[in-house]
Structure 1
Amino acid sequence: MYSVVLLSGGKGSRMQEDTPKQYLLLAGKPMIMHSLERVDRLVDVDEIVVVCAPSYRHVVKQMVHEYNIATKIVFVDAGQTRQESVYNGLKAVYNEFVIIHEAARPFVKQEEFQALIDDEEFNVIYGYNISYTVLKGHGYVSGILDRSELLNVQLPQKFKVSDLIDAHDKAKQRGDVYTEDASLMFANSQKKIKVIRGTSFNIKITEPIDLLLGEIIYKDYIINRK
């Protein structure tokens, strides 16, 4: 069986809303519920660890009740950084394998979660080839990155829990900070990380324009392409 760590602790300051983005409405329901409902239908998942701010725990509990989520829900307090939040969530899971996802990525289909579970590799992520030119520099161009070797790293991601905790411990000891877990594991572990091709629809809702695009993506990708 699998655990899912669902990250929902962000403040969403760039969204320019009083309410964190993961609780704003998208296609008529709170954004976090799009992921919770799909994960709830996965027969291989028997535990969902929701990592959120303590002040929003009661909000999520009410949503779980209203939307009849049947899978066991465990609540864990978010940390000061995303990395701390993941670590807090990992410490709460009891299964050997975990799927890490973000509530602000509401366009991942059930079969995409299932593809991670079905893959025989222990550590698997989604990635999407970058189709635009990427330059290095601060104020002035200092270099060009080869886009054929670059990936837009996406979630969900699957890991063996012990492998990821070990990598987190090493990163913490070094004082290194990462914005997602594939890069953290790559830098702090010798374990292989397999990449499955993602989709351009799997965007993270970050800014106001993303909510507008999200309504279009939901109608075209989630509803019309079932």
Structure 2
Amino acid sequence: MSEFSFILLSGGVGKRMQLNMPKQFLLLAGKPIFIHVLEKIDGISEIKEIIIPCPADFIEKTQEVIRDYGFSTPIRCVEGGETRQESVYKGLQEAAFDQVVIHEAVRPFVSREEFEALLAAGNESVIYGLDIPFTVLQGKDIVEGNLQRDRLVNVQLPHKYNTKKLLYAHECAREDRLEFTEDASLYFHYYQSEITILQGSEYNIKITKPIDRKIAEAIYKETILMEG
């Protein structure tokens, strides 16, 4: 059976949400958002440890909240970086197992089944993605070209990778002073190797702006009704 480290990115400081605290502490159905993610993965036998890169000022609070829920999987918090990429890098340096799963604390609607499908997928590099349902053009102030949306993918998390290979790619990016918005693009840049894309879910949103919080509440209510 494969064994995985799990990195839960919790480095955000809530600027886009206009908050004085990291957005992962926002309550959804009475629980901090990141707790919903931990509840989905706790007890998955392949996941042997959880590493949470978070802002230095909130490490103690994160640990406090976690203790209240009594998770069985070993969890440790580490200081995150100034950027998302740096937080992943710091998490990878702490990872003890050959394979790693990466997820974001503010994507609470990922399902346990999606995690299990990711772990079971044959390729060592696997992500979730969605088709893009709108037209995308290349350009900033003026249109410079067309993009074929049937050849594009909206990248979601979670992802899984070989830990050492992803860490090496991050080290290369640091040396080259390149920044990427997520790990699939970084990994592909250095390896040009196959990354499997699993079908994502429209419910698996990332909560980053005030409007996302309202959408999240609606999704939660809908999922409760479906389960009922």
- The TM-score normalised by the length of structure 2 is 0.95
73, 98, 115: which one aligns with 2:117 = 115
Determine the structure 2 residue equivalent to 1:51: 53
1:136 alignment counterpart: 138
Q: Structure 2 CA distance, aligned partners of 1:141 and 1:81?
A: 30
Query: Superposed, which structure 2 residues align to 1:61-100 within 5 Å?
Result: 61-100=63-102
Amino acid at match of 2:152: L
Partners of 1:220 and 1:138 in 2: how far apart?
37
- In 2: Cα distance, 1:107 partner to 1:157 partner: 15
Task: Measure the CA separation in 1 of the matches of 2:176 and 2:189.
Answer: 11
- From 163, 173, 176, the counterpart of 2:165: 163
2:186 aligns with: 184
Alignment partners' CA distance in 2, 1:89 and 1:57: 14
2:193 is the alignment partner of 1:194: no
RMSD: 1.3
Contact 1:78–1:88 (8 Å) recurs in 2: yes
Please give the alpha-carbon distance, in whole angstroms, between the structure 1 residues aligned to 2:63 and 2:12. Answer: 17
Shift of 1:136: 1.8
Tell me which residue corresponds to 1:21: 23
**Using a 3 Å threshold, how does the CA distance of structure 1 residues 48 and 36 change in structure 2: closer, same or farther?**
same
Task: Report if the CA contact (8 A) 1:34-1:106 is conserved.
Answer: yes
User: Which amino acid in structure 1 is aligned with residue 98 of structure 2?
Assistant: E
Aligned length in residues? 226
Contact kept, 8 Å, 2:24 with 2:33, in 1: the verdict is yes
Q: Equivalents in 1 of 2:121, 2:227: separation in Å?
A: 23
Structure 1: 5+ residue runs without aligned partners? none
CA contact (8 A) 1:201 1:221 kept: no
SS where residue 157 of structure 2 aligns?
strand
Alpha-carbon offset, residue 93 of structure 1? 0.7
User: Identity rate of aligned residues, in percent?
Assistant: 45
Closer/same/farther in 2, CA of residues 223 and 23 from structure 1, 3 Å limit: farther
Query: Which segment is superposed worse, 37-46 or 204-213?
Result: 37-46
Matched-pair contact (CA < 8 Å) for 2:81–2:90: yes
Show CA shifts across 1:182-209 (max 9, x none). 0000001143211101011111001001
Residues 113-149 of structure 1, C-alpha deviation per residue, up to 9 Å, x if partnerless?
1111111110100010001001122222222211101
- What is the rounded CA distance, in whole Å, between the counterparts of 1:224 and 1:43 in structure 2? 27
SS at match of 1:153: strand
Q: Distance in 1 between matches of 2:55 and 2:179?
A: 20
Q: Secondary structure at the match of 2:81?
A: coil
1:175 equivalenced with 2:145 (yes/no)? no
**Deviation above 2 Å: which 4+ runs of structure 1?**
none
Structure 1 residues 103 and 87: alpha-carbon distance in aligned structure 2, compared to 1, 3 A threshold: same
Query: Partner residue of 2:13?
Result: 11
| CA distance in 2: counterparts of 1:65 and 1:75, whole angstroms | 12
Kept in 2: contact 1:109–1:222 (CA 8 A) = no
Q: Secondary structure at the match of 1:184?
A: helix
Higher deviation after alignment, 15-24 or 84-93:
15-24
